[in-house]
Structure 1
Amino acid sequence: MIVKQQRRARAIAMTPDEIDAFLAEQRTCRVATNGTNGPHATPLWYAWHDGALWLTSLSRSQRWTDLMADPRIAAVVDAGHDYNELRGVELRGRVEVVGEAPRTGEPCPELDGPEQLMADRYHGGVIHHDGRHAWLRLRPEKITSWDFRKLPADRQR
């Protein structure tokens, strides 16, 4: 899949390696879905693996219902406190379900990497299959990034 190039703010955009490092170190993303009653935004833990954002979602949730009707999604991961520290990545595209839904642990080689990453980051290395969550993969169609630390000194507040 070809990722659309960022057109604006390229001077402060992260490089692909910077994006990979940033997404590997942050812990929470905010996901927006399209629902029948308008947008729905929620924070989620995630794994960044092989150029895809991997999410787990309760398979009986508003987010899941929204995504099964319309798989388009936007996810934002950001960090920083002061203006000249702000940085982040927005990923847009369509999600696909990977593995059984809900996930009970049936063999699925595509999930080996993401499940272990998620377990290492959030569960002390132990993979959990609770029979309530399922995996979603977002292969971004568009990535927009910003790193205000790259601003010239005269443009920093």
Structure 2
Amino acid sequence: MTSPALDVDTFLNQPLTARIATCGPTVRPVWFLWEDGAFWVLTGPWARLFDRVRSNPAVALVVDVCDIEKGLVQQVIARGDAELVPFDVPRGRRKLICYLGADESRWDTRFVRYLYDDPEVRGTTWLRLVPDSLTAEDLSFSVTA
């Protein structure tokens, strides 16, 4: 039996948590924005991720869902060299809206600061991963009562 095709854009535009692995090895959960064929992850000098990618840009990233009761099993695995690029507020807002909703007045202040603090002072940076390889699979199955 063949697996159904997974619509990568629809899947990755959900507010899911990815896990990103860097040389070390180390793995950490991250929120991300999937846009323009790239994963965008907020980072900066306060995070180990920033230093790890600066010293070795090779990363692997996985986004998956698994709901055994519904038989839903989907995954996207990406690999490549990440780059650290300047933060831009409009993209940051799009990312945070995906996870927190459009009403900024309801956001925790630590998220609002990313948009309104000076990124040059705070050091806010994007980790941008344009995957060299991307594998998407829908391994879902039928659940019988």
Gaps of 5+ in 1: 1-10, 104-110
Alpha-carbon distance in 2 for matches of 1:58, 1:77: 22
Q: TM-score, normalised by structure 1?
A: 0.69
1:26·1:77 contact (CA, 8 Å) conserved in 2? Answer: no
Aligned residues: 127
Matched residue of 1:59: which SS? coil
Quick check: 1:146 aligned with 2:140?
no
Q: 1:30 to 1:87 in 2, by over 3 A?
A: same
Give 1:69-84 correspondences, 5 Å limit: 69-82=55-68, 84=71
Residue of structure 1 aligned with 2:94, choices 96, 117, 128? 117
Partner of 2:15: 26
For 1:86, the equivalent position in structure 2 comes to 73
- Which runs of 5 or more residues in structure 2 are unaligned? 105-113
Q: Percent identity?
A: 28
Q: Does 1:135 align with 2:121?
A: no
Q: What's the C-alpha RMSD, in Å, of the aligned pairs?
A: 2.4
Q: Distance in 2 between matches of 1:114 and 1:27?
A: 17
The AA in structure 2 aligned to 1:141 is D
> Deviation at 1:115?
1.8
Structure 1 residues 51, 70: CA separation in 2 closer, same or farther (over 3 Å shift)?
same
| Runs of 4+ residues deviating >2 angstroms | 11-15, 111-114, 122-127
